[in-house]
Amino acid sequence: MLTVQPFTFNPVQENTYVLYNEKGDCGIIDPGCYFASEETALKDFIEQNNLKPTLLVNTHCHLDHIFGNRFVHQTYGLNLHLHSLEKAVLEYGPASAQLWGLSFVNYDGEMVFIDEGQTLRIGDDELRILFTPGHSPGSLSFYSAANKFVISGDVLFEKSVGRTDLPGGDFNILEESIKTKLYTLPEDTVVHPGHGNSTTIGDEMKGNPFVKMI
């Protein structure tokens, strides 16, 4: 069984997730820790719960989701998992940081490219990879059927959706991703988004003003 521990990090208030099981295996999704205090909070949680990080993965590589990639890589020796279409987005990180007036040193380790049809493992637990572009060219969501949750990145939020005015964004593609990949999940699936509060697939199908199904 996987437990989902959220952290809200960096000036953009991004949600970082630590997923861990009863054996202490854990994965880190979208480490957005920017300040030293945020890095400490992430590390302290892992140490205090005797967790062993085995996976580093990005739903997508916009700046606010990648601030902590390098820290996690250097601290735990994990290589970054991402979709191949996000490589260019990742590499744009330093230029994006300059536009925000932020200092940033990018991840420089090995990249492990992943795609729909594959699964990620955290110990004995599996996450199914869903290809959900539209907010970013290679956006991925990670679904656990056994634990009834999906990590949606910036694709689907509580009563909102990811912006599509950034390079590679497209609302029609985003809408299709939500309708065909996320809204086909069981309605009681908990959605853990890249920003804001958690919600459920059923609530968003009924009440999301941007993409409704019911």
**pLDDT of the residue at 214:** 61
* Nearest by Cα to 167 from 189, 198, 134, 199: 134
Residue range 190-206, pLDDT digits in tens: 999 999 999 999 999 99
Determine the topology of domain 3-207 in CATH.
Metallo-beta-lactamase; Chain A (3.60.15)
* Nearest by Cα to 34 from 93, 121, 82: 93
**Dist. CA 151–CA 59, nearest whole Å:** 8
**pLDDT of the residue at 1:** 93
Which 8-state DSSP code applies to residue 182?
A: I
Task: Characterize 124-159 residue by residue with b for buried, 16 or more Cβ atoms within 10 angstroms of its Cβ, and e for exposed.
Answer: ebbbbbbbbbbbbbbbbbbbbeebebbbbbbbbbbe
- State the DSSP string of 98-156: HHHT-------S-EEE--TT-EEEETTEEEEEEE--SSSTT-EEEEETTTTEEEEETSE
**pLDDT of the residue at 200:** 98
- Domains of the chain: which residue ranges? 3-207
Q: Tokens for 167, please give them.
A: 């390079």
Residues of the chain falling short of pLDDT 70: 214
* Nearest by Cα to 167 from 62, 58, 83: 62
Chain-centre distance for alpha carbon 143: 11
**Whether pTM exceeds 0.85:** yes
Angle formed by the axes of helices 36-48 and 69-76, nearest 10°: 40
Q: How many CB atoms sit inside 10 A of residue 52's CB?
A: 13
* Nearest by Cα to 96 from 167, 152, 174: 167
